[in-house]
Structure 1
């Protein structure tokens, strides 16, 4: 197969996959299914909690941390899904990526609130992030698997998701600290 034929074949398979995902959603994940309502709750409840719990005096910093977590987790989740290590069986809508409610909302929001708590109360984020990663990696993912929301493939298991959660939270912390360092030193340099 030459380059153009390969490209056409890839596009054809993507189109077929899109049709199958759409058919799956309409058959098993639509508004009449419990999966739709679970996904909707996973989307809305964390955002409501965030609205009331967010420290508005540090909103930009905390949101930067959350956005960083979101971007990293979306990319990790896309990779795991594309390589068929992890499959979010039911999505909120057929036009949203698989796992949108988890990797775009639940994980980032809970991690944001953890970051905010640790920094406001002088707690060790590294320790609490391990606890958070365990709750999400073993607790939430176990429950999701039992409810049929996710399936793990190719020897992927909850321990790996636990380690990924730790890595994502630590990297998000380090990038936020870098952001704050640059922000702080830019203000000092500008005042001289």
Structure 2
């Protein structure tokens, strides 16, 4: 690595540090433990996990859990890219250094899709229709409520229809990942 490249990399790393410090300072000022939005995010993180604990089909826990983990990871990647490129933001967060909404990507969305997958596979209802339904609930009901509460903002032409495509594409990819691993498991 030459000196110019090293200097540019150090500048980028310092920019990350400065941005993280700015995020932490913003969090302390507007989103910390003394705000109702912080506690709402905590409740919205915990309630779905408690519901999942009681509703999860224990006989299929690994399959449903893998599916939920795939939804979670895809959501984190998309949410990180979207926030880093300034398509949307979460002005009030539970964890200030994460660009994503920890509540949505780690609890609400994965749990909703896991319970949908569990239900639709037991009832043998079309997966894609059910996934579109869950995506529509989050895109056209949950996110507008978050926006109304000033807990979610969209920028640069991003809209709910693009968000719906992202949610649905994530559900399709998670199902493909699950199907691939189920297939590999049957091969042993």
Q: What TM-score bracket applies, with the shorter chain setting the length? A: over 0.9
Alpha-carbon distance in 1 for matches of 2:169, 2:58: 27
Matches within 5 A, 1:1-192: 2-186=4-188
Indicate if the aligned counterparts of 1:90 and 1:98 stay in contact, CA closer than 8 A: no
Runs of 4+ in 1 over 6 A off after TM superposition: none
1:48 match: secondary structure: helix
How far does residue 96 in structure 1 lie from its aligned partner after superposition? 4.2
* 1:105-139: CA deviation from partner (whole Å, max 9, x where unpaired): 11111101100000011111110111111110111
Is the Cα–Cα contact under 8 Å of residues 72 and 106 in structure 2 kept in the other structure? yes
| Matched residue SS, 2:89 | strand
Q: Contact 2:71 / 2:171 at 8 angstroms: preserved in 1?
A: yes
TM-score normalized by the length of structure 2 = 0.95
On the 8 A contact 1:70/1:107 being kept in 2, the answer is: yes
The separation in 2 between residues aligned to 1:115 and 1:84, in whole angstroms, is 31
Matches of 1:73 and 1:150 in 2, distance apart? Answer: 15
Per-residue deviation at 1:160? 0.9
Distance in 1 (alpha carbons) for counterparts of 2:135 and 2:59: 27
- Secondary structure in 2 aligned to 1:2? helix
* Contact preservation (8 Å) 1:89, 1:98: no
Name stretches of at least 5 consecutive residues in structure 1 with no aligned partner.
187-192
Question: How many pairs does the alignment contain?
Answer: 186
